[in-house]
Amino acid sequence: MPAKVASDWLNSCSGCEIAIVDMGERLLTVLELVEFVHIPVLMDHKYLGQKGDGKHIAIPVAAVGILSGGIRNAEHLEVALEMRKKCKAIIALGTCATHGGIPALANSYTNDEILDRYYSTETTDKTTERPSDGLPALLDRCYALDEKIKVDIHLPGCPPHPDQVFEALVAFLEGRAPNLRDKSVCDTCPTIREGKGDLKQLRRFLQAPHINSPGDPLDKMRCILEQGMLCMGPVTRAGCGGDGVTPRCISARVPCRGCSGPVLPDGNQRLDMLNALASNGIDIGSFPETKSMLRFSGAHHLLRPARK
Residue 293 Cβ vs another protein, minimum distance, rounded to whole Å: 11
Residue 49 main-chain phi, psi, to 5 deg = 85, 155
Q: Are 175 and 111 in contact (CB under 8 A)?
A: no
Q: Are 127 and 102 in contact (CB under 8 A)?
A: no
Q: Report the residue number, 1 or 252, with the smaller CB distance to another protein.
A: 252
* DSSP conformation letters of 47-78: TT-TTS--SS-----EEEEEEESBEEEHHHHH
Which residue in the set 85, 88, 118, 280 belongs to the binding site for another protein (CB under 8 A)? 118
Which residue in the set 3, 81, 89, 108 belongs to the binding site for another protein (CB under 8 A)? 108
Indicate whether 78 belongs to the interface with another protein (CB under 8 A).
no
- Print the binding letters for residues 202-221 with another protein: x by CB under 8 A, - otherwise: --xxxxx-----xx------
225-254 positions binding another protein, by CB under 8 A: 248-254
Which residue in the set 113, 152, 182, 243 belongs to the binding site for another protein (CB under 8 A)? 113
Binding footprint of another protein, residue count (CB under 8 A): 85
- Print the binding letters for residues 3-32 with another protein: x by CB under 8 A, - otherwise: ------x-xxxxxxxxx-xx-xx-xx--x-
126-145 positions binding another protein, by CB under 8 A: 127, 129, 131-136, 138
User: How far apart, in whole angstroms, are the C-alpha atoms of residue 106 and residue 102?
Assistant: 8
By the 10 Å C-beta count (0-12 exposed, 13-18 middle, 19+ buried), 145 is classed as buried
Which residue in the set 141, 257, 270, 300 belongs to the binding site for another protein (CB under 8 A)? 257
Sign of CA dihedral 24, 30, 31, 32: positive
Q: Are 37 and 103 in contact (CB under 8 A)?
A: no
- Print the binding letters for residues 45-64 with another protein: x by CB under 8 A, - otherwise: xxxx-xxxxx----------
Residue 181 Cβ vs another protein, minimum distance, rounded to whole Å: 17
Cis status of the peptide bond prior to 136, with omega within 30 of 0:
no
